[in-house]
Amino acid sequence: MKITKETKIDLFTRMVKVRTFEDQTEKIFMAGKEMPGFLHLSQGEDAMAVGTCANLEINDAIYTTHRGHGCIIAKGADLKPMMAELFGRIDGCCKGRAGSMHFADVKTGCMGSNGVVGEGMRLAVGTAFAQKYNKTNNVTAVFFGEGATGTGSFHESFNMAATLKLPVIFVCSINLYAQMTHKSVHIAIENVAERAAGYGAPGVTIDGNDVELVYEEVAKAVKHCRAGKGPYLVEGKTYRHYGHYIGDPCNYRPAGELEEWMKKDPVVLYEKKLLKEGVLDAKGVQQVKDECKRLVDEAVEYARKSPQPEIEELYKDIFA
């Protein structure tokens, strides 16, 4: 598969956008006053989000996890309401009711992050059923971590999607940990993708830090799904730079592990690659970064100006 120059720049731009948003979010959260609750950030897993979503159209659906900002940005959601949501403000995409963990932006096909590990997979099956039933030729991608493969949700959803031949792309980001617990403690096999065979579907394991590779593999999955052949599993090996949540002391990580993975930072790797290939020059790279910074700064400004929800908001959208 030949990836065009436009696509390369698009992949890079989306990754920088994700990364800039996450980095800025981390700073504001750590400063302590403006962002309530807790945050699970996705720096390090940017290539999985971007490589997947770059294959999707606006009417395709995604489901994400508690670590879902990157996927939602990559899918095309506007940064302003996202940032306002993290501030708990009324102009947030969910009117300040959701926060980081329950982000949704239905108009761009972001059907929800989830606070309940694995649950997005069950909902994805239903969305894919509707896509098939209505012959829209759309697909549903569902993101999850390796921890979620321990849930019944994973096995049951995969089996159901396979038996009903539904267009679900299962995207598993292996970031080595479920909270503080290493993958080897709760998964008895090396590659989760092997499990797909047990349900009669294809599964591949790839380097999740190589955005072009993710893009190419998910392209195959999308084609498979659009052709009505049922679900497909893409497993990418990656890493979360900041631990489980922001503030995680990460005392369970072996010495040197983070440093090794930082050498494989997907955004840095891709920048180098594009420079080397001459797709972008240093100025071009800087332009992308400046533009993303401008967008994120605007989003922060927007969030800061947005009012707190009024008490009357409490009883809207609840009918029982």
Partner 1 sequence: MAVREITCSQAIAEALAEEMERDDTVFILGEDLTSNGGIFCQFKGLPEKFPGRVIDTPISETSIVGSGVGAALTGMRPIVDMHFADFVTTAMDEIVNQMAKIRYMFGGQAKLPMVLWAPDGAGISAAAQHSQSLESWLVHTPGLKVVVPSEPADVKGLLKAAVRDDDPVIFFQHKRLFKQTGPVPEEPYVIPLGKADVKRAGSDITLITYSRMTYECLEAARKLAEQGIQAEVLDLRTLKPLDFDLIARSVKKTNHVVVVHEACLTGGFGAEIAARIGEELFEHLAGPVVRVGAKDVPVPFSPVLEQYVLPQVEDILEGVDKALKRQRQVLFIPRAANVR
Q: Which residues bind Mg ion (CB under 5 A)?
A: 145-147, 175, 178
According to DSSP, the β-strands at 181-182 and 177-178 are antiparallel
* Residue 206 interacting with partner 1 (CB under 8 A): no
CA dihedral 185, 186, 191, 197 (to 10 degrees): 150
CB of 40 to ligand TPP, least distance (A): 6
Regarding 247 and contact with ligand TPP (CB under 6 A), the answer is no
Beta carbon of residue 108, minimum distance to partner 1 (angstroms, whole number):
20
Shortest reach from residue 169's CB to partner 1, in Å: 21
- Pick from 93, 91, 95: nearest CA to 72: 93
- Pair of tokens at residue 312: 């009357």
Picking from 99, 66, 74, the residue whose alpha carbon sits closest to that of residue 292 is 74
Question: Measured from the CB atom, is 144 or 215 closer to ligand TPP?
Answer: 144
Do strands 203-207 and 232-237 pair parallel, antiparallel, or not at all (unpaired)? parallel
Smallest distance from Mg ion to CB 163, Å = 27
254 versus 278: smaller Cβ distance to partner 1 = 254
| # binding residues, partner 1 (CB under 8 A) | 40
DSSP string, 177-215: EETTEEHHHH-SSS-TTHHHHHTT--EEEEETT-HHHHH
User: Which among 121-129, 144-152, 295-303, 308-316 is the span making contact with ligand TPP, rule CB under 6 A?
Assistant: 144-152
Two structure tokens written together for 119: 């649950």
Q: CA 228 to CA 166: how far, in whole Å?
A: 7
**Token couple for 53:** 């979503």
Closest CB 145 distance from Mg ion, rounded Å: 3
**Of 30, 57, 107, 115, which lies in the binding site for ligand TPP, with binding defined by CB under 6 A?**
115
Q: Give φ, ψ of 293 to 5 degrees.
A: -65, -40
Report helix angle 46-53 to 266-277, nearest 10: 60
Cα 226 to chain centroid distance, Å, stands at 21
Q: For ligand TPP, which residue of 85, 91, 146, 210 counts as binding (CB under 6 A)?
A: 146
Nearer Cβ to Mg ion (109/145): 145
Nearer to ligand TPP, 148 or 214 (CB): 148
Q: Is 101 in the site for partner 1 (CB under 8 A)?
A: yes
Q: Is 236 in the site for partner 1 (CB under 8 A)?
A: no
**How far, in Å, CA of 140 to CA of 135, rounded?**
13
Please work out, in degrees rounded to the nearest 5, the angle formed at the alpha carbon of residue 125 by the alpha carbons of 111 and 175.
70
Tell whether residue 89 is a contact of ligand TPP (CB under 6 A). Answer: no
Structure token digits, residue 25: 């979010």
The interface mask with ligand TPP, positions 34-73, x = CB under 6 A, is -------------------------------xxx------
186 vs 272, which CB is nearer to partner 1?
A: 186
The binder of 5, among ligand TPP, partner 1, Mg ion, none, by C-beta within 5 to 8 A per type, is none
Give the interface with ligand TPP as residue ranges (CB under 6 A).
65-67, 115-117, 144-148, 175, 177-179, 244
Residues lying near partner 1 in the complex (CB under 8 A) are found at: 36-38, 85, 88-89, 94, 96-99, 101-102, 114-118, 147-152, 178-181, 185-187, 251-252, 308-309, 311, 313-315, 318
